Structure 1
């Protein structure tokens, strides 16, 4: 919903800005009525487009388009969005809402054609950036463009390591192609809970997914812990579908750790933002320890101490655990969804 509202606000502001620009060039006198027209038209154009991006494409009807090759997805969206733009401009909702006189042939006027052209270009730019951000990650793209990590910086972060249990045996039974489909579907189902709890997918490594938060993003409502259980719930809901297609339902093992890391850009032909530090290694070792301790979700005290509202979860103290590669043991809790 937050993304929908942000897109709606952006479209409204673009409509106001465009009409203000047109008024400065072609008109004199008060710009208030036309600015209001621009706001209404911008909102009318953006609302259905934003609804499709944030709601429809997440349903089973929209997933085939979202999962199609880049050019197919991009071209189909641009065609649909272009049709919406043309229909809204022809309908003149802003003019009619304010009780002004609509044009007899709205698409025949030069200004209307200019508005259609501008909207198509704006839609193209938005779609291109939006689709690319889905490939490299919205925050990763923003951070690279703004140069936030151009110089390395120290920051406190949470890292949630998620391992998909059973993928190795599935590979032995059905082959690598089926495993790829299995993992792709699991990671896709996990993406909505991760976004809902303000997480950022850092990387996929085989059958593992690494999700990260800054301390400020994670602290409220123990978001990393809530995110894990939301992913578990999402996978449980579709477990029968997985069992029919693959012969098993996905199960998760996970570990959460927090602490200081070095964050910075690397690469030349391909840039990326990476994180270095003992926190990463410890989180990975904790995830491996879930097998030895026979627990599905382990959280370190370093992570728990940085979170608020953890009292809603059942915390089982497991004491200090010796982890490979670390001299000092780590105090660990097993976390369950309810007390």
Structure 2
């Protein structure tokens, strides 16, 4: 619950800041110096710097309300509708909600400023239908919304902070980073695929990864890639260690699946089980591709993480972690770590000590 509130507050302040600045800039573009244009007459209240300041305050107030309302709408849609309706219907319904709330916000702000500055602004029912200034503002909001959506999609694609670094060209040349990787794989995937058939199996994987995405933001993780029935997650090293994020995510995902056990049982006749391997260390990160740009990680950390996950079946456990990473974690009292021995992973010349971590009942 606390993490959900934290994520909402982060989305809220970003949305409020973006829209207050966007609408503030619009007021400057729209009103600054307009009374000096030849052939344009402005009433006294809108002339000079005083009028510009009033417009700036009014539109910034609109931006704050728009940011608050849009962030709330996005949160509700992402939580309750994003996996239930198509993208087209999602966009259409969101747009309708955006438009209705925008009309309401403009009406409220216009009423307030009419009272404060004794302006005779028309806010009667349907005022917006023939108001050209309102439609000009709506067109601006639509264009700015595309910018905001682009930034949001790019941030979700590459992860928070990575998009900005890409814009600045940080990864044009390989950079060394210290990260934690988790390879998360569906247990008995071949058997499940044969039982369900390819269509229902795809729905099964889709549901699993949708549930995974509900817990990923709460544990500061970034999804590096999906490979069939496997997901590869990563954290900057300190973020992965904080609050045991890299371990807690796995148990949160398990809990999420158990909370939907009836749904999975009724729809697929089984409850999915995943196994995971964790390891961390230094590796190289760089931007690759021209037609389709991606961030790629190169180094032994990824290979070791994948091979640790492959050992889960041999040891009949769901979660394995390297001793090197375990030593940097602060295991809480509700978790217990068990040493399983040293294994010579495929392709490695040096043995790696591995542990399993279980949650106390």
TM-score, normalising length: structure 1: 0.88
Q: Note if 1:15 corresponds to 2:19.
A: no
User: Cα distance, 1:79 vs. partner?
Assistant: 4.0
Q: Note if 1:4 corresponds to 2:12.
A: yes
User: Cα distance, 1:47 vs. partner?
Assistant: 1.9
User: Cα distance, 1:208 vs. partner?
Assistant: 0.7
- Cα distance in 2 between the residues matched to 1:208 and 1:321: 23
Q: Which runs of 5+ in 1 are unaligned?
A: none
1:40-94 CA deviation, whole Å, 9 max, x = no partner? 21122222221121233212x45323xx14x444444334323432332244268
- Cα distance in 2 between the residues matched to 1:205 and 1:62: 22
Match of 1:167 in 2: 189
Given that residues 286 and 298 in structure 1 are in contact (C-alpha distance below 8 angstroms), is that contact kept between their aligned partners in structure 2? yes
Q: What SS does the corresponding residue of 1:64 show, helix, strand or coil?
A: coil
Once the two structures are superposed, the pairs formed by residues 130-279 of structure 1 within 5 Å of their partners are 130-131=152-153, 134=156, 136-139=157-160, 141-279=163-301
Once the two structures are superposed, the pairs formed by residues 8-47 of structure 1 within 5 Å of their partners are 8-26=16-34, 27-30=47-50, 31-47=52-68
Match of 2:72 in 1: 51
1:106-131 CA deviation, whole Å, 9 max, x = no partner? 63555433322211221233234435
**Alignment partner of 1:81 out of 89, 94, 98:** 98
Larger radius of gyration: 2
Q: What SS does the corresponding residue of 2:16 show, helix, strand or coil?
A: helix
- Between stretches 302-311 and 44-53, larger displacement belongs to 302-311
- Cα distance in 1 between the residues matched to 2:114 and 2:253: 44
- Between stretches 258-267 and 137-146, larger displacement belongs to 137-146
Match of 2:326 in 1: 304
User: Cα distance, 1:268 vs. partner?
Assistant: 1.6
- Cα distance in 2 between the residues matched to 1:44 and 1:181: 39
Q: Would the alpha carbon gap of residues 266 and 285 (structure 1) be closer, same or farther in structure 2, given more than 3 Å must change?
A: same
- Between stretches 314-323 and 302-311, larger displacement belongs to 302-311
Given that residues 44 and 93 in structure 1 are in contact (C-alpha distance below 8 angstroms), is that contact kept between their aligned partners in structure 2? no
Q: Would the alpha carbon gap of residues 7 and 267 (structure 1) be closer, same or farther in structure 2, given more than 3 Å must change?
A: same
TM-score, normalising length: structure 2: 0.83
Given that residues 257 and 283 in structure 1 are in contact (C-alpha distance below 8 angstroms), is that contact kept between their aligned partners in structure 2? yes
Q: Would the alpha carbon gap of residues 247 and 45 (structure 1) be closer, same or farther in structure 2, given more than 3 Å must change?
A: same
- Cα distance in 2 between the residues matched to 1:228 and 1:125: 34
Q: Would the alpha carbon gap of residues 222 and 94 (structure 1) be closer, same or farther in structure 2, given more than 3 Å must change?
A: farther
Taking only aligned residues, the RMSD between alpha carbons, in angstroms, comes to: 2.5
Match of 1:314 in 2: 336
- Cα distance in 1 between the residues matched to 2:26 and 2:17: 14
User: Cα distance, 1:212 vs. partner?
Assistant: 0.5
Given that residues 304 and 310 in structure 1 are in contact (C-alpha distance below 8 angstroms), is that contact kept between their aligned partners in structure 2? no
- Cα distance in 1 between the residues matched to 2:252 and 2:112: 45
User: Cα distance, 1:314 vs. partner?
Assistant: 1.0
Match of 2:43 in 1: none
- Cα distance in 1 between the residues matched to 2:76 and 2:84: 14
Q: Would the alpha carbon gap of residues 40 and 89 (structure 1) be closer, same or farther in structure 2, given more than 3 Å must change?
A: same
Given that residues 320 and 332 in structure 1 are in contact (C-alpha distance below 8 angstroms), is that contact kept between their aligned partners in structure 2? yes
